[in-house]
Structure 1
Amino acid sequence: MKELIEYILQFGTLNKQQIDLIISKSKELTLQKDDYFSEAGKVPKQVGFVVKGVVRGCYYNNKGEEVTRCFISENSLMVDYVNFEADTVSSEYLQACTDCKLVVFSKQNWEELSQIIVGWDHIKNKMVQICMYEKSRKGPVISQDATTRYLEFMENYPSLINRVPLIHIASYLGVTQQSLSRIRKNIR
């Protein structure tokens, strides 16, 4: 919970009562590797904050292939916010790549914070902007060769290389797992 409060306080000032209220409106949740936080075909019902672990955003393309779009790791907000706010069905999955420890808010509790805490909307908007930016960051440029894409991935996500299954990294890079294994072997 301490990590969440430290994260929130980067975006605004809150007193002890407000912090206690935020804590009271949240709950801790554990996801096992491969569990879903939210699923395509369902309306997202909660906002999460990753305390420990890695989650990936993914979807199925028109060929039925799974595509990893982003990775969300520690000290990050996580939600399919557009569909969460609009109460509409999502087309993406948020799935644990590792065992995860999260702090979550139900939709009702998330909205109540806006009604009770003066300035919460300002803080929330900044957190959501970062969340949406991270989630929408473009994956590797497919016109680059696969080795360049992998090297950029290593530079941008150094902590994920040994934590996330290779199949998910390969999907993110737009290559097969075999190709990724060859690239990794040639780099060493």
Structure 2
Amino acid sequence: MRELFVYKKIKRKHLFLEQGEICKYCGFVIKGSLKQYRVDDLGKENVINLFLEDWWVADRDSLIASKPTIYNIETCEDTEILMISKDDISKMQNVPALNELTKQLDMNHGIAMQNRVNYAISLPAIDRYNNLLKAYPAFLQRFPQHLIASYLGVTKETLSRIRKLK
């Protein structure tokens, strides 16, 4: 197992993955935090995902399909990651316990993403904030307000008003 992973330290505000690259590694966050975002035509950064310790980080679409990513994944703090290549992930799946763990993690990720999309299109901003507070309270401690606002799809001012109501 140790031979499959590569340890890497990434300084704050450095890219783990850059738009246009093919994602070749999946990373397991040991320490630190990251954001996955896309920059729109107006230059606005839209946060798609946030990652903390014990989370896997990658652009799954780019990794699996070997196509250029449309996202950037950038560190928000000095970060330590264990990286594993697509080929080595396949090798890991030959171990029954790890294969089962991978399936469970993939299911949990799918459910979380489905819920996130549902909340984004069907709930008012205050309910999205409350769901975030309930599901991922550490996000509010670790990420700056402008990233939380982008993640929720609201302006910084709207997020500030919601937080005052709390």
TM interval, short-chain normalised: 0.7 to 0.9
Q: How many residues align?
A: 164
Partners of 1:79 and 1:110 in 2: how far apart? 13
Amino acid at match of 1:167: H
Partners of 2:91 and 2:79 in 1: how far apart? 26
Amino acid at match of 1:59: R
Instruction: Determine which of 7, 23, 34 is the counterpart of 1:44.
Output: 23
Q: Which is further off, 78-87 or 39-48?
A: 78-87
C-alpha spacing 1:43/1:129, structure 2 compared with 1 (3 Å): farther
Deviations for 1:1-31, whole angstroms, at most 9, x for unmatched residues? xxxxxxxxxxxxxxxxxxxxx1122121122
Deviations for 1:21-61, whole angstroms, at most 9, x for unmatched residues? x1122121122222221121110111111122222221134
Partners of 1:135 and 1:81 in 2: how far apart? 12
Deviations for 1:81-137, whole angstroms, at most 9, x for unmatched residues? 2211222101112222232221111344434445xx454655544444444554565
SS in structure 2 at match of 1:89: coil
C-alpha spacing 1:142/1:133, structure 2 compared with 1 (3 Å): closer
Q: After the TM superposition, which segments of 4 or more aligned residues of structure 1 sit over 6 Å from their partners? A: none
Instruction: Kindly indicate which of the two structures has a greater share of residues assigned to helix.
Output: 2
Q: Report whether the alignment pairs 1:54 with 2:36.
A: no
Structure 1: gaps of 5 or more residues: 1-21
Corresponding residue of 1:138: 116
Amino acid at match of 2:116: K
Corresponding residue of 1:175: 154
Corresponding residue of 2:73: 94
Structure 2: gaps of 5 or more residues: none
SS in structure 2 at match of 1:104: strand
Q: Which is further off, 22-31 or 154-163?
A: 22-31
- Asked whether the equivalents of residues 77 and 127 of structure 1 are also in contact (C-alpha less than 8 Å), the reply is no
Q: TM-score, normalised by structure 1?
A: 0.72
- Asked whether the equivalents of residues 28 and 81 of structure 2 are also in contact (C-alpha less than 8 Å), the reply is yes
RMSD: 2.5
Amino acid at match of 1:141: A
Corresponding residue of 1:78: 57
Partners of 1:42 and 1:136 in 2: how far apart? 26
Partners of 2:43 and 2:115 in 1: how far apart? 22
Instruction: Determine which of 89, 97, 103 is the counterpart of 1:110.
Output: 89
Larger Rg: 1
C-alpha spacing 1:143/1:113, structure 2 compared with 1 (3 Å): closer
